[in-house]
Amino acid sequence: MSDIITNIDGKAGRIRLNRPKAIHALTTAMCESILDALEDWRGDLAVEAVIFDHAEGRGFCAGGDIRMLAESGAKDGAEARAFFHTEYRMNHRLFTYAKPTVAFMDGITMGGGVGIAMPCKYRVATKNTRLAMPETGIGLFPDVGGGWFLSRLPGRTGQFLALTGARIDGAECFALGLATHYLPADSLDEAKTRIAADPQRIEGILGQLSVTPPPARIEDNLASIDRLFASDVLEEVYAALDADGGDWAAKELATLKTKSPQTMKVSLRLLREGAGMHDFADEMKQEYAVGCHVVQRHDFLEGVRAVIVDKDNAPRWDPPTPEGVSDHVIDQIFAPLPEDEAWTPA
C-alpha cells in the first residue's frame, strides 16, 4: 500500500497520508507524491479543491523522517538536503496554490504535518488535535515555514511555541488562528463528503459544521508569554523567567533547559527575520540553508540519539548553555548557500 493515497472524489482531489506506524511521518517520496498530485490537478478543471487528511491512526502527521535525516547528517548530508529541498518545494507549492486547500488536523500534527496544514486556506481542528513544533528538543528548529507562520502569531506566542515545543490542542489552535475552523471529530466525514460534492461552498460547509470550542487554555498565559518571552535574546528570556518567581515561569524555564541552546537561538533569529520576509520563497530559501547546516552539527545528531535512538532523553548539548553559543556560530548557521546549491521553488 502506498504511503500517499491520491484520488479524485467528486470535484475534489484527495491526498491521504498513509504511513500509520510512523504517525504518517513524511519521507522524500511522500513529498514527491504530494507535489506530483498538486501539479496534476493544477490545470485540471474537474478538480476544484484539494483535501488533506490521514488514514487510520492517532495523528495527521508527526513530522519528517528524523532518523533518516540524522543518519544522513552523520555522513555527507546529501539525503537530508534532498528531503528538505523536496519538502520545502511542497510547502511552497501549497502556499501559492490557486485552488482552495483544506487540511483536517485531527490528532497529532507536528513538524512536517504543520508544514502541510499551515499553507492551506482552510485548517480544521478538533478535540483530538495536538499541534506542536518540538524541534528544539532534538537540536533542530521549527522549519517548513515556521519562521513565517510562527512570527505572525499574536504577541510572542510564536516565540514561545518555537522555544518550548509546547503542544497545543484544537481549541488553542483556533484561538491563535492556526486553525480556521473547529469541528466535532465525528463530523469530519460529512465535511469531506459535502466539500467533494460542492467545493465552491467550502466556507459555508465548514461554518455550518463548526461548533464553539472549549476555552483555550493558552489564553490564560498570553500576558505572561508576551512579557517573559519578549526578548529575541535567549539569555534575556532565561533571566526574565528566572526573575518572575511564579510556578508557570519556573516550569517553562525548566522546559527550556532541556532544549538545545544552539537551535533555540537559531529559532529566535529565524522568527525575527521571518517576520520581515515579504515572500514565502525567500523564507524557504533561508530555512533550507539553515537546515543544511544544522543537520550536520553535533546537537542534532545528539538530540536524535537521546530522544529517538537510545531514548534516554538526556541529550548532552554542546555548548550546554545559551552563553556558550556565540553570535559567530549562529551567523555560520545562517550563511547563505552558494547559488548553485540554494533552494529554488518547483
Q: Which residues are catalytic?
A: 64, 112, 135, 143
Cell numbers representing residue 240 in the block: 526574565
Rounded CA separation 346/335 (Å): 23
Reduced to 3 states (helix: H, G, I; strand: E, B; else coil), residue 169 is strand
Exposed e or buried b for every residue in 322-332, given b needs 16+ CB within 10 A?
A: beebeeeebee
Structural contact between residues 232 and 272, judged by C-beta atoms closer than 8 angstroms: yes
Rounded CA separation 80/339 (Å): 18
The Cα-based distances of 6 to 3, 35, 235, 274 in angstroms read 10, 11, 47, 32
Cell numbers representing residue 188 in the block: 469530519
DSSP 246: S
Structural contact between residues 237 and 294, judged by C-beta atoms closer than 8 angstroms: no
H helix intervals, the chain: 28-42, 66-73, 78-95, 112-117, 146-149, 157-164, 170-176, 188-197, 202-209, 222-228, 234-244, 247-256, 261-274, 280-294, 298-304, 327-333
Cell numbers representing residue 68 in the block: 533518516
Type of residue found at 140: L
